[in-house]
Each structure stands twice: as structure tokens, then as C-alpha cells.
Structure 1
Amino acid sequence: MSRSFNFCSGPAALPEAVLKKAQAELLNWHGAGVSVMEMSHRSSEFTSILESAKARLTRLLDIPDNYEILFVQGGASTLFAQIPANFVTDHKTVCYLDTGAWSAKAIKEAKKYADVIVSGSTKEQNYTTVPSWEELNLDPNAAYLHITPNETIGGLEFDDLPETDLPIIADLSSTILSRSIDVSKYGMIYAGAQKNVGPAGVVICIVRKDLLERSDNEALPSTWSFANLAKNNSMINTPPTFAIYLADLVFEWLEALGGVEAIEKVNEQKAARLYKAIDGSKLYSNPIDVAYRSRMNVPFVLADESLEQTFLAESEAAGLRTLAGHRSVGGMRASIYNAMPVEGVEALIEFMRDFESRYGA
């Protein structure tokens, strides 16, 4: 049976080579006689997997020595509350940029722990652009500044950072490992795995070690304390072992391709081709400021909304899966993460052209 091109925003497509390797190792991992799903997380076998994943991620992102890598359960949405719970401590305020649906959800959770200063917002512009860095309202005494550099639902992305002495905490769930970043500019990076890294069930956290001192707090639940997680090598309780194993295989696959710089070039190519097809069409359009269009999540709408269900039905039949936009905004959305090959994007473009030739005005 041939595989479809899966444009789901998450859980998203995994590299076929990774799936085949996991399949080959499923029953008997490296001669251990058991699957990774069956082995003790305290075993030497799984410890080697965990350490391999951390080492590969460190190489891929060139993570400095003064950062700790954590594998956390609960999903990135849980981190919306876990982050302020860990880092507010003696601070009274936190700063957040409001650039889309996910940053808005993070703000809502943070309000349960501190006074939230919305330092900049483009809600009035329907989240089609980003705030002006020069006009941000930043409290120098805030615990941190939280940003969401890629809004998965809206398809907005930015890669430059505001000038601030505050620790910058970034939700990179949709973009981690898709483009080059300077980890040293962040206080913390976190990313749900189910988009560019692996299956749902684990969140990668890269935390500057000086910030961990804030979370060494007896009042925090032990499984929520980043400091406690670091002290216990992410194994306070049973971690999501199989998700970490698959993440390690994805890291291995990415290294073999040439690392983040190599995949970034492919991602630039894929996004450029798809946006060119949209912009050259009379049927399709994308509302985002061209300077801030996401490379990973490409939303588009049809000039005739009545054609949407026909588009989705026919694209599904053509082997192009999960192109419906988020339920909150509608329209279409193609998520073209690292695992989506150029051939998949070309197949989508060809389908879009054919569809427009049959249904366009």
C-alpha cells in the first residue's frame, strides 16, 4: 500500500526512513530481546537511548554547556502553566507577545500565576503580522518574555528577537530543527515533539541552567519542577520512552541529511514553491504579511468558500491528507514540516492547479 502525503499540523508526518528503522527494531531492539516499549526506563539500554538523543540534539542545535535538555510529559499546552509556575518566584509580572491563537492560550494560563503584561499584540490586525519591536511594553523587572515564533494555526512566523535583558522563553513547537537558531539568545526553548521531532507524548525543553535555580521550589509538584527534572535526568517518573526513542531516530536521520542547515534549505524551497503557486492563482490566497509567512504552516483560502468541501474530498482521494484548516479559522492549511518531501509539495501544487482549472472562475 502506497503512503499518502500527510499535511497534518500534528501529530505530523514522520520520515519514512525513521518509520522503517523503528519497524525493524520493534520486536527486538539491538539484540535486547524486547521492544523499547517494553524495557525498563532504568535499564542501561534505555539510558543509552536517552543519552544518544540528548547528544544528537546538542550537536544539531549547537547547544551551549550552560543549558540543560529535558524531556517533559504533558504536551506544550501543559508548559503554558508549568513555565510561570517554575519561573515567577519573586517576580510579580511576566511579559508575553500576543501573535496568534497559541500565544493567546499561553497568556490565559500565565494569568493564573502572575500579572501578565501583553508587551505587544497584533490581534486587531487578525494576527496577520507581528508587533513592532521598538514599541513593545517590556517590564525590566518581569520574570521573562514569552514568544511564539511560529503560530501553527495562523501561519505566521518570525525569526528575529526583541532587544531585551529579560530571559526570552520561546515556544518552538512548530519550527524546532527546521531552521538555524542561536540557542544562547534564549532563556528557554520548548517544543512539543509531534510536529518536527516525533510522536505526541513528549516536550523537548532546553533550559539555561541559571534559570533552573528559580524552579528549585519545594512548593512545586515534584514532576513539574524543571530543577527536579534536571536533577533526575528527566526520569522522576517513567518518561515517554518510545517517544524519546523515535525522537532519537529523527535526530539521527536529520544528522545524516546534513543537519539543520541542510534541511533549512529544503524547507525554504518547499515554502517558496507553495507560496508562489498561491500568489499566482485567482482561486487561492494567503492573508499573512509576506515578510512573516510561515515556512512550516501554509494556510490558504478559496475565493469561493462553497468549494472547500469539494477541495478537501478530492485532495484526500488524491492521496493528499489533512488539508483542512484549523476548526477555529477554517479554510485550508498545508503543514510542510521537515518530513514532508519536496515531492509532496509538488503533488499538492499540481492538484491545486488542476482543481482551479476545473472549478476556478
Structure 2
Amino acid sequence: MNRALNFNAGPAVLPETVLREAEKNWLNFNHTGMAVMELSHRNKEYETIHEQAKLLLRELLSIPDSYEVLFLQGGASLQFSMVPMNLLTEGKTGNYILTGVWAEKALKEAEKVGNTFISASSKHQQYQSIPTENIEVSEDAAYLHLTSNNTIYGTQWQQFPGNIGIPLIADMSSDLLSRKLTIENFGIIYAGAQKNLGPSGVTVVIIQKELLSRSGNHLPTMLNYNTYADHNSLYNTPPTLAIYLLKLVLEWAKELGGISVIEKRNIEKAKILYDAIDCSEGFYLGHSEKESRSKMNVTFNLTDDETAKSFLHQAKEEGFIGLNGHRSVGGCRASIYNAMPVEHVIQLAEFMKKFRKYN
């Protein structure tokens, strides 16, 4: 069977080798006579999966011992609430940088918990860029929150704010594991898995241990980071199948050569599509400013709505899946996460050139 040319923004393409490995063990994992999702989360077979996933994350991302690695559910959307509930202590203010819809949603949830402050925003520019200059931090700031990659608008932080004196919190749902990071520069990194890490259902939280002291006992048990840190993310039944697939994706990433190789591949894939846009003499119009371009989500439009509709229709007939832009902005979007083969990106660029030639 031919694999789809899957450019969906998420849930997104997974490595074929990962899917085949999961298929091979689907009914009988490690001679247990059970599928992974049938194993008890207290079973030694599952505990091994759990620990291997954590160790691989630590190895691939160079996570120091001063950080906890947690597995949660609820996606990044739950973290929009958990971050302020755990860190926004009395008399403090949550600082937010707005770069798109997901940053706006994070701010909206924090406003329900306590005081907030907008440190910078590119909303007035229709979120075409990352506001790297004139970032203002309030005097009583508890933390500074940002979204590292903006799937809807196709922008991405190329360099993160430094020397801010407060914990930097990053929603990295769409670019964690896609490039090198200095983990020590962040207080918390969180990411829904369904872009680069695995399937939907598990959320990875990397949190500085010293921040755990801010989580008060008044919090609901399942909304307190200490619950997960104290019980190895096994206080209740975790999303076992999703964590198993996360482990397989991490093994695939390691076998590929790790973060340095993955980052190089992602730069190559993004360049192929941005070259197709930049060399089109205005036929394709990129949404984001060049210095803010995402290497995960390439967003663009065409000169008019009818031509865009024709492009999407013909692309679908050619087998390209998921190229429609987000419903809030329209246009086109090609999501080229870690598992997206370079060959599929080349095929899309060739289709773009062919479509331009005949239109």
C-alpha cells in the first residue's frame, strides 16, 4: 500500500517504521499474549516502556537531572490552565507573548486564574512575525510564557528571550524534538505529542524541579504537577498505548542520528518549499516574514481565492492530504514535521511548480 502524502497539521504523519513495529506487536507484545493497551500500567512490561520513554527523552534532548519529565493527558490546552494554577502565586503576574491563536488561548485561561500581562504581541501584524524586540516584563512577573512555533500562521521563534530573570515557559507542541535546545533556559516546556513525538493522547511536560514548590496543596490532585512528579506519572492510569508509540518514535529519532540530524533534515525540507514560494514571482504568497518563518508549518496563499481553491482541489487529486490552511485564516499550509519524508516535500514542490506553469 502506498503511504498518503500526509501534510496534516496534527495529528500528523508518523514514521512508517514505527507503525510497522507497532503492527508487529499489536496482538502479542513481548510474548505476553496481550496488546500494549491491555497491559496493566503496574505490569513490569509496561513499566519498562514507561522508563525507556523517559530515558530516551532525556538523552535526545539533553535534559539535566534538575528537571522532571512528566507524562500527562489533556493536551497543551490543559497546560494553558495548569501553568498558571501551579506557578501564578498570590501577588504575582503571568506574562505572555502573543504570536497566534494558541498563545491567545493560553492567556485567556491564565486570566481566569490570576493577573496577566501582555509582554509583546504581533497581533497588529496579523501574526506575520515573532516580536523579538521590546519584550516588556512586569515587575511582579511570575513567569514569561510563549508559543515556540505557531502552526496556524507559520511562524517560529528562531532565538528565545534570554536573561529575563524569571522562568521561561514554552508551549512546544509543534516543534519539540525538531531542533537543538538548551533545556536549562526554560522553567517548563510542554508539548502535545501529535506533531513530532507520537500520536495524540499524551502530553510531555519538562519542568524544573525547583518550580514544583510553587504548586500549592489547594490544587485539585490531577492538576498539581507534584502528583505526577511524586508518582512517576503513574498516580492513575496513563495513556499507555500513546506512551508506547512515543517510545518507538524516540527510538526512531535516535537511530536516525538524533537531534542534529533531524534539525538538518528539517532545514532542508523547509528550504525546498520556501524556495518554491520565493521563486514563484508572487504567484505563491508566504504569510510569515522571512526572519520568522517556521520550519514545521509552511503557510502560503495564492493571488486569488479561485486559484487557491483550484490548487487545493488539484493537489488532493494528486494525493496530497491536509494542505488546507486553518479555518481561521484560510489559504494553504504544508506541515512538514520530523516524520515527513524529504521525498514527499520534493513532490509537493514539483506540484507547486507545475500548477504555477499551467495557471
Is 1:16 the equivalent of 2:45?
no
Match in the other structure for 1:62:
62
**How far off its partner does 1:91 sit?**
3.9
Query: 2:24 corresponds to which letter in structure 1?
Result: A
Equivalent residues in 2 for 1:1-361 (5 A)? 1-133=1-133, 135-162=134-161, 163-215=163-215, 217-281=216-280, 282-359=282-359
Cα distance between partner residues in 1 of 2:63 and 2:353: 43
Cα distance between partner residues in 2 of 1:350 and 1:27: 41
1:63–1:183 Cα contact (<8 Å) kept = yes
Cα distance between partner residues in 1 of 2:203 and 2:25: 23
Moved over 3 A (4+): none
**How far off its partner does 1:51 sit?**
0.1
Query: 1:57 corresponds to which letter in structure 2?
Result: L
User: 5+ residue gaps in structure 2?
Assistant: none
2:154–2:287 Cα contact (<8 Å) kept = no
1:140–1:165 Cα contact (<8 Å) kept = no
Cα distance between partner residues in 1 of 2:159 and 2:309: 37
Cα distance between partner residues in 2 of 1:98 and 1:180: 23
Cα distance between partner residues in 1 of 2:109 and 2:97: 14
1:140–1:166 Cα contact (<8 Å) kept = no
Cα distance between partner residues in 2 of 1:99 and 1:201: 25
Q: Secondary structure at the match of 2:273?
A: helix
| Percent identity for Structure 1 against Structure 2 | 48
Query: 2:156 corresponds to which letter in structure 1?
Result: E
Deviations 1:219-241 (A, max 9, x none): 11111110111101111211100
Cα distance between partner residues in 2 of 1:86 and 1:118: 19
Q: Secondary structure at the match of 2:252?
A: helix
**How far off its partner does 1:156 sit?**
0.5
Query: 2:304 corresponds to which letter in structure 1?
Result: D
Cα distance between partner residues in 1 of 2:249 and 2:324: 26
**How far off its partner does 1:161 sit?**
1.9
User: 5+ residue gaps in structure 1?
Assistant: none
**How far off its partner does 1:62 sit?**
0.4
Q: Secondary structure at the match of 1:223?
A: helix
Aligned length: 357
**How far off its partner does 1:331 sit?**
0.2
Cα distance between partner residues in 1 of 2:158 and 2:68: 23
Deviations 1:288-331 (A, max 9, x none): 11011000000010112112222222212212101000000000
Deviations 1:200-236 (A, max 9, x none): 1111000000001111x22111111101111011112
Q: Secondary structure at the match of 1:247?
A: helix
Once the two structures are overlaid, the 10-residue window that deviates more, 276-285 or 239-248, is 276-285
1:283–1:304 Cα contact (<8 Å) kept = no
